[in-house]
């Protein structure tokens, strides 16, 4: 975008420092930069992005307490991390923004904050800085988060094991087991986090969604009509499709991506490989890991499996893998520590994605028309999986735990030549076409982006600079 005249307006963007949040925030920054805004990324020391990949942005570090980190992958660690971040970053963030506002020659149009950094609303109010939020998850799961107080009153939450299969009639098509809960000894802490997250989203001046109108229209309507979300909403996604895959893939990755899997995929025929990845935070037990390994081996289909160091609880990397298992497959399976996922999903050899249904993974799969096997672990992943399998009907969910026989059957249902697999694949390809349309001139996301740019520029008149 060199040579484009900047709008004379600077935007401050603060991502939540986790991979699934940094990726969409930096893509959003690129999109807004392409629309002639100047960009400053505010970030923590923990999981800081690499400024050398973005020479056209400014970066400013919030000097948060050194104790802030996510040392282990588990729901309760994640919960404590989010609470600590929101408690400990207030003062350093306020100091950082105050300094920027006093030194910045360009007027700052607004702050764009990850919705889970709810602490930024209070600071923005104090500094009289307009705040818009980016919700990096889907709209449908946000509806379920917004419904939490009501679902608690109705007795759906806390979840009772005997009611897992019951329909939650107020939030269709969710069943009790699809509600976005986490396993924790301290559920009150989780409820408080959700309360603040939803409320400070409501108190913002607008919400940007990494989603598109055609995919989640009923959830968007529900939010504004039933939950009184009256601020403007901008479904402008999928963000990463504004750029060529190769250029948007690796810049924001916190872990180095193993490119060797692309040449491995090159050797395979179209739609023949199952890609398996459970994202950057989820962790699985050693027992589940072994069931997955045997399910993959027994399926007879080629697979590319991301086993991130730390994925298996209590192990460094692949120690629990039975010796000889991979060797006996004679090259049918490849395990890597971290993959260039956007390129993998866009590769013609990939025929299905076995995912934990983090929102980015789900959306990335939708964009490439790749059907999914769903194995959600916690929070919004459970809602996303339900939508994939029962609303968009572009995947199958492993409903009965992680067991090698069921895994093998699910892989065969999706990847063997058969009518069911074909129908699912056809629906996924149709949705991929909708993605292309929404990003074209006049398409829903393209129009929403235009509206967002106009909206941000309209905020300038009410912006007050810190004195």
Least distance CB 210 / ligand UDP (angstroms): 10
* 23 counts as binding ligand UDP under rule CB under 6 A: yes
Cβ-based neighbour number of residue 245 at 10 Å: 18
Say whether 41 sits in a helix, a strand or coil. strand
Say whether 349 sits in a helix, a strand or coil. coil
* 339 counts as binding ligand UDP under rule CB under 6 A: yes
Return the residue of 49, 130, 206, 279 that touches ligand UDP, per CB under 6 A: 279
Least distance CB 356 / ligand UDP (angstroms): 6
Cβ-based neighbour number of residue 299 at 10 Å: 22
By CB under 6 A, how many residues form the interface with ligand UDP?
19
In whole angstroms, what is the distance from residue 322 CA to residue 220 CA? Answer: 47
Stretch that binds ligand UDP, among 15-23, 182-190, 202-210, 213-221 (CB under 6 A): 15-23
The answer to whether 107 and 10 are in contact (CB under 8 A) is yes
Return the residue of 81, 359, 378, 387 that touches ligand UDP, per CB under 6 A: 359
| 94 vs 360 by CB, closer to ligand UDP | 360
In whole angstroms, what is the distance from residue 163 CA to residue 361 CA? Answer: 29
Return the residue of 40, 213, 280, 389 that touches ligand UDP, per CB under 6 A: 280
The answer to whether 308 and 338 are in contact (CB under 8 A) is yes
* 364 counts as binding ligand UDP under rule CB under 6 A: yes
| 42 vs 281 by CB, closer to ligand UDP | 281
In whole angstroms, what is the distance from residue 448 CA to residue 234 CA? Answer: 5
| 123 vs 394 by CB, closer to ligand UDP | 394
Cβ-based neighbour number of residue 315 at 10 Å: 15
Return the residue of 358, 369, 376, 395 that touches ligand UDP, per CB under 6 A: 358
* 343 counts as binding ligand UDP under rule CB under 6 A: no
Stretch that binds ligand UDP, among 9-17, 211-219, 339-347, 390-398 (CB under 6 A): 339-347
Q: Match 């697999």 to its residue by tokens.
A: 421
Phi-psi region at 393: left, alpha or beta (left = phi > 0; alpha = psi -120 to 50): left
The answer to whether 275 and 353 are in contact (CB under 8 A) is yes
Dihedral Cα 17, 19, 21, 22, nearest 10 deg: 70
Here's the x/- map for ligand UDP, 58-97, by CB under 6 A: it reads as ----------------------------------------
Least distance CB 458 / ligand UDP (angstroms): 31
Least distance CB 276 / ligand UDP (angstroms): 10
Least distance CB 448 / ligand UDP (angstroms): 21
Least distance CB 236 / ligand UDP (angstroms): 17
Least distance CB 213 / ligand UDP (angstroms): 20
Least distance CB 170 / ligand UDP (angstroms): 26
Residues 6 or more apart whose Cβ sits within 8 Å of residue 366: 215, 238, 392, 394, 428, 431, 432, 435
* 341 counts as binding ligand UDP under rule CB under 6 A: yes
Return the residue of 20, 173, 232, 310 that touches ligand UDP, per CB under 6 A: 20
Return the residue of 338, 354, 378, 387 that touches ligand UDP, per CB under 6 A: 338
Return the residue of 210, 361, 389, 397 that touches ligand UDP, per CB under 6 A: 361
Return the residue of 38, 94, 360, 448 that touches ligand UDP, per CB under 6 A: 360
Residues 6 or more apart whose Cβ sits within 8 Å of residue 364: 238, 240, 341, 342, 345
Least distance CB 40 / ligand UDP (angstroms): 23
In 3D, which of 116, 117, 167, 144 has the Cα closest to residue 227? 144
In whole angstroms, what is the distance from residue 351 CA to residue 454 CA? Answer: 40
Q: For residue 207, what are the β-bridge partners?
A: 133, 233
What is the edge-to-edge ordering of all strands in the sheet holding 58-62?
Answer: 58-62, 38-44, 10-14, 108-114, 131-135, 207-209, 233-235
Here's the x/- map for ligand UDP, 249-278, by CB under 6 A: it reads as ----x-----------------------x-
CA 133 to chain centre: 15
> Cα 176–177–178 angle (5° rounding)?
90
Least distance CB 154 / ligand UDP (angstroms): 28
* 306 counts as binding ligand UDP under rule CB under 6 A: yes
Stretch that binds ligand UDP, among 193-201, 229-237, 279-287, 290-298 (CB under 6 A): 279-287
- H or E segment to which residue 38 belongs: strand 38-44
Least distance CB 299 / ligand UDP (angstroms): 20
Least distance CB 288 / ligand UDP (angstroms): 16
| 18 vs 410 by CB, closer to ligand UDP | 18
Say whether 128 sits in a helix, a strand or coil. coil
List C-alpha distances in Å: 193 to 78, 116, 117, 138, 407. 11, 9, 10, 18, 34
In whole angstroms, what is the distance from residue 70 CA to residue 38 CA? Answer: 31
Q: Which residues bind ligand UDP (CB under 6 A)?
A: 19-20, 23, 253, 277, 279-282, 306, 338-339, 341-342, 358-361, 364
């Amino acid at each position: 975008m060199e040579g484009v005249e900047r709008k004379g307006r600077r935007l401050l963007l603060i991502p939540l420092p986790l991979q699934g949040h940094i990726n969409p925030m930096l893509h959003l920054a690129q999109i807004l930069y392409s629309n002639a805004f100047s960009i400053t990324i505010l970030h923590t020391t923990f999981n800081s992005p690499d400024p050398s990949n973005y020479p056209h942005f400014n970066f400013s570090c919030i000097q948060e307490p050194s104790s802030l980190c996510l040392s282990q992958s588990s729901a309760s660690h994640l919960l404590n991390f989010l609470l600590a971040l929101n408690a400990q970053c207030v003062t350093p963030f306020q100091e950082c923004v105050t300094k920027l506002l006093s030194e910045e020659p360009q007027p700052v149009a607004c702050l764009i904050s990850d919705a889970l950094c709810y602490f930024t609303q209070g600071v923005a109010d104090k500094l009289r800085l307009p705040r818009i939020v980016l919700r990096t998850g889907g709209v449908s799961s946000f509806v379920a988060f917004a419904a939490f107080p009501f679902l608690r009153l109705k007795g759906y939450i806390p979840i009772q094991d005997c009611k897992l299969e019951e329909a939650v009639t107020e939030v269709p098509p969710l069943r009790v087991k699809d509600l976005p809960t986490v396993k924790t000894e301290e559920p009150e802490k989780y409820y408080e986090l959700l309360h603040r997250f939803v409320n400070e989203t409501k108190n913002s001046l607008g919400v940007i969604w990494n989603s598109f109108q055609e995919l989640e229209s009923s959830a968007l309507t529900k939010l504004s009509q039933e939950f009184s979300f009256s601020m403007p909403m901008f479904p402008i996604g999928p963000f990463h499709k504004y750029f060529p895959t190769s250029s948007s893939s690796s810049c924001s990755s916190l872990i180095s991506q193993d490119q060797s899997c692309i040449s491995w995929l090159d050797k395979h025929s179209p739609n023949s490989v199952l890609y398996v990845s459970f994202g950057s935070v989820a962790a699985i037990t050693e027992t589940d890991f072994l069931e997955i390994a045997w399910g993959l081996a027994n399926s007879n289909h080629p697979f590319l499996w991301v086993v991130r160091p730390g994925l298996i609880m209590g192990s460094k990397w692949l120690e629990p893998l039975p010796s000889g298992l991979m060797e006996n497959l004679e090259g049918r399976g490849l395990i890597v520590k971290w993959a260039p996922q956007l390129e993998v999903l866009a590769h013609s050899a990939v025929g299905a994605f076995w995912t934990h249904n983090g929102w980015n993974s789900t959306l990335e799969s939708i964009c490439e028309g790749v059907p999914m096997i769903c194995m959600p672990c916690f929070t919004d992943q459970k809602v996303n999986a339900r939508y994939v399998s029962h609303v968009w009907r572009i995947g199958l969910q492993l409903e009965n735990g992680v067991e090698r026989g069921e895994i093998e059957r699910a892989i065969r249902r999706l990847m063997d030549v058969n009518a069911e697999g074909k129908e699912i694949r056809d629906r996924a390809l149709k949705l991929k076409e909708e993605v292309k349309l929404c990003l074209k001139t006049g398409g829903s996301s393209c129009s929403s982006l235009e509206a967002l740019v106009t909206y941000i520029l309209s905020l300038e008149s009410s912006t007050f600079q810190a004195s």
